[in-house]
Structure formats: C-alpha cells, structure tokens
A and B are shown apart, each in its own frame.
Chain A
Amino acid sequence: MEDIKKLARELLADNKVQLVLGFENGTANRVRPAFFTTPEAVDKLIYNEFCIQNIALYLKKDICQHAASLAITANPNVVRSILQLAAENQIKEEKIKIIGITHEGKCVGLLDFKAAEEFSKTQPKGLKDEDKALIEKIQAMSLEEKFDYWVEAFSPCIKCYACRASCPMCYCGKCNVESNNPQWIPVAPHKYGNMEWHMMRAMHLAGRCINCGECNRSCPVDIPLNILSYMLSDFVLEEFESEAGLSAVFTPALSSYTMVDKENFIK
C-alpha cells in the first residue's frame, strides 16, 4: 500500500495529475471510493483486499471529466474497464495515469494503455467457486428451465438501478429504460417488467461487460446479474472470439460483423 501512496503523492506533488481516484476507509468497516487532490490528502488513501468496488465508474462522472488529468488505483477489474472505456472512445489515454495493482494487491507502477493490455492478459478475470457452480447448474438447464430460473431470480428486483448506476459500462446519457416514446421497457418492477429490463441490460452489455461483478455487489437484493453477464461474455468469446477489457482498440461483437463470425446462432 505504501508504494501506491507514494506514487499517488508524487503524481499530485509534481502536478502530473490534478486528482487521484482511489479508496479510503468508510464507515462500519467498509472501504469506499475517494477523490484526492493534494499530496497531504493521500495520507487517507488505502488499498486492501476489500477495495473491490469498480471505481472506473467515476471516470465518466463530472468530477473526473472536469479534471485535466488524473490517476486511478486500478486493480485488474478497473484496468479492464479502462481499456474497454477507451475502446469505446469514452476516455483518452493522455488524461489517465493507471496505477496498476494485481489481484494479490501488488502495485506494478504506472501503466500506459499498451502496458495495461499486457497486464490485463496476465490477470485473468476471477470467478468465485460458487459462481462457477451456479453457472454449471444453469447451463445444465433446458431452455424453459433457464427462462423460469431467470424470471424467478429477477422477481425480487425493485428497479433501484443500483446495478446500472454502479456499472462503468452503463454510461449512456439516456438509458433505454428512461425512454418512454416508445416505451421499450415497462417501468413497473413486476415480474415481466423486471425480465424485460434485465434482458435489455444483458444484451447491451454482452461483449462489453468486463465481468467485475459490481452489478451483483451493488444490488440490495443480491440478484446474480453478474452470472448472466458472465455467461453472455463466455458466449460472445466462444462465438465471436472477442473479449471485453483486453484491448484499448476494440470492435464490439454485437454491433459489427466479420467474415469469421459463425452465424450458427441464427436459427
């Protein structure tokens, strides 16, 4: 942690960045996102195994948009998010200094996008055992069972949109659920309104989701959204040989067509 702090302090002291995006201690033994603008403030910066919230989210918020340059403490999830955001032309390399941190919490220093791509390859996305088990269970289901499973899983959804608000890839200025003319998705959080919202969300993130699991962590009713996204990512990888978050130059699988596309899903 000390090397991370040292780096952050230097960047601010040397005026290399105006803002460092990282973590501080929160309340009730939690950690939370924090914004540091002076070297002294960095005393409060922390990094430990609880710092898993995907703070790449804030790169698209006013505070970061208004900063001329910034640094971010970036674990592999954050690095993948940054690369994906860059691939989608949402952020610029010149503006961002990535303080790379491995899954084990080791600081690897500053990463440019090239180095970040290499780093991403060496830090495969992790999946908890219970998540793996759930995926296997769902994969073994018939189509109807799968549908029923998800209808049931989504039924407690209260449409608080914490999942959307916490996802770095859900940066649309006007989300589809906010469009009422036409009304694509019913607003009410009943069974089918929920199903449609989640189908829409999953489709918009398929091939773009970097599998950080933030949607699930932020969900107050603990819906395993990340599993659905993960399964879709897997599918996109298999079918289109494309994976989000590995490269700063990227063509989203579902809005492009190449000669190697298998098309075998069109039945």
Chain B
Amino acid sequence: MENTNIYVPYKMKIEKITEEAPFVKTFRLKFVNEEDASKFSFRTGQFGEYSVYGEGESTFCIASAPTREGYIECTFREAGRVTKSLANLDEGDVIGFRGPYGNIFPIEEWKGKNLLFIAGGIALPPMRSVIWNCLDLRENFKDVTILYGARSVSDLVYKHELAEWNARPDVNLVTTVDPGGEDPDWKGKVGFVPTILSEMSPSSENTIAIVCGPPIMIKFTFPVLEKLGFTDENVFTTLENRMKCGFGKCGRCNVGKVFVCKDGPVFTLKQMKELPNEY
C-alpha cells in the first residue's frame, strides 16, 4: 500500500549535533530512505513536526536553507517532554519528521532590495534559514544587515555562523546582549534589540525588515520600525502557537480565522494588524 497517511513521518538520521547554547542544540538530519530525500523539498520559512516515538511530536522551523541540499537542520531549546527527550539523543539515532508545512518568506519578491534581519534569542533559527537562503543568492539583494540580540553572551546561538557573517564584507552584522549579559571579552553591543535598532537607525528606503523573537521584543521593535518609516507590508515576522497536526486540522493554532500552521507561520505586519490578539 502506498503511504498516503499524512501522520506518518519520514525517517531521519541525526547526522550531526551542535551545542549552540545552554539547552539549545542543532540537529542535522538526513533522510534514511533515498526515495524520501529525492521527493522532498521545502522553502524558507516552513516548519515541521519532529517525533521521538513514545514521547510525541514537537514543532520547529526548518533552520537550514533550501539552497543547502541533502539535509535539513533544526535548532531547538529544551522546554518540555519532546524537546527534553530529543536532547538526550545521540548522533546516529533515528527520529521522525513530518513536513514541510506552512507558508514561506517571499524572497523572490525581495529581489533588488535591502534586507534588515532582526532576531532575538532562540528565534534566530527561522531567521537562519532565510538568511542563508538570501546569502546563497547574494547577488539578488542589495545591503544585508543582521541585528541579533540575546540575553547574555552564552545565550547567543550559531556562534560559528555569526563569526562567518561578521567576516563577510557583504554582510553588516550587529550583535548585542542585554545589559548585564556581557562578559569581559564581549566586542558587540550592550542593550536591548529595539534600543540598538533605534541607534542604528537604518534607512527604510527600499528595505524589507524581517523580525523574529520573543513577543516582548517584537512588541517593542515594531514601533521603532514604524518610526523609521517602514510600511506594514515591508515588515515580516513569524508567529508561534501551540500545534499538533501542522496542517490545519487539529484546531488549536488559529488566530482568528487564520491557522498559524497553514496560513502562517510567516505574516507581514499588515496581516498581523488584522488579526485578533490571540497569539
């Protein structure tokens, strides 16, 4: 019988585990079955359901870029049952993956524009996918600026990649930690993301802003962007709601009439303003 059961995950092998920060890991996952790998494709912004059999499923975005073929990556924080058991796995172990689900960052529409990525804390993963996707197609875009903030130096994820972006002449990377989170060697900025953004005062001219982070950061970042002249259609973010199915059936992730899993997780600020406050 051909498998058309939408609940059956792909079988994935954990190829590589990277410790990003305390309680945060990145898994590089490879399809165990060649056939699955050849059929699979995704676009930046999408997410999936990752299974530990016996524990359940957890929702993470695909943190790698579609331009990097042959594997997918996810970065997760130990939070509850599934994430804790994922954290106990080793390289070589097998997990399940269903996806890709959800909508995408419309990077084709961003051609010829400046990109301003603003991320906070563990919310860099969805951003990382779109950042790499854009950097791999670097000639399509003008200036690329990345503002990334975390609570403390040890909470910064993707340290290698931050170094890599920092070294690139075609990327303007600004990192910051919350006041008190710095250490003696810290060379980045100190201050909350919205404050640093105001200081940087990037031009909104021909620029797309992509904002991902904890709700509180998002809440204080939007007004700064507005002040800088960004229009609501040019500001993108991603939403999180509790999920189970990932495809608009289990009923719990809706914000008003939209399902975050199906109609999201990527929304423009314009769309966000039309949604009731149920996220």
Contacts and interface: CB of A to CB of B under 8 A. Distances in A.
Whether A and B touch directly in their complex, counting CB atoms under 8 A apart, is answered as yes
B175 to A, nearest CB: 33
A43 to B, nearest CB: 36
Nearest to A187: B56
A181 B81 CA distance: 5
A183 B80 CA distance: 11
B186 to A, nearest CB: 35
Contacts of B242: none
Contacts of A181: 80-81, 84
Contacts of B56: 180
B194 to A, nearest CB: 33
B254 to A, nearest CB: 21
A180 B84 CA distance: 12
Contacts, number: 7
Q: Is the interface of A mostly helix, strand, loop or mixed?
A: strand
Interface residues of B, number: 4
A106 to B, nearest CB: 48
Nearest to A183: B81
Contacts of A180: 56, 80-81
Interface string B38-59: 0000000000000000001000
A183 B56 CA distance: 11
Contacts of A183: 81
A181 B58 CA distance: 14
Contacts of B84: 181
Nearest to B54: A183
B114 to A, nearest CB: 44
A222 to B, nearest CB: 27
Interface string A179-194: 0110100000000000
Interface string A149-193: 000000000000000000000000000000011010000000000
A74 to B, nearest CB: 37
B148 to A, nearest CB: 31
Nearest to B85: A181
A188 to B, nearest CB: 12
A181 B80 CA distance: 7
A86 B80 CA distance: 34
A180 B56 CA distance: 10
Contacts of B81: 180-181, 183
B28 to A, nearest CB: 26
Contacts of B80: 180-181
Interface in B27-85: 56, 80-81, 84
B243 to A, nearest CB: 15
A51 B118 CA distance: 58
A181 B84 CA distance: 9
Nearest to B84: A181
A133 to B, nearest CB: 43
A194 B269 CA distance: 45
A181 B56 CA distance: 11
Nearest to A181: B81
B157 to A, nearest CB: 24
B78 to A, nearest CB: 11
Interface string B173-201: 00000000000000000000000000000
B45 to A, nearest CB: 29
Nearest to A182: B81
A187 to B, nearest CB: 10
Residue of B80, B81, B84 most packed against chain A (CB within 10 A): B81
Interface of A: 180-181, 183
7 contacts: A180-B56, A180-B80, A180-B81, A181-B80, A181-B81, A181-B84, A183-B81
Q: Which 4 pairs, one residue from A and one from B, show the smallest C-beta to C-beta distance?
A: A181-B81, A180-B81, A181-B80, A180-B80
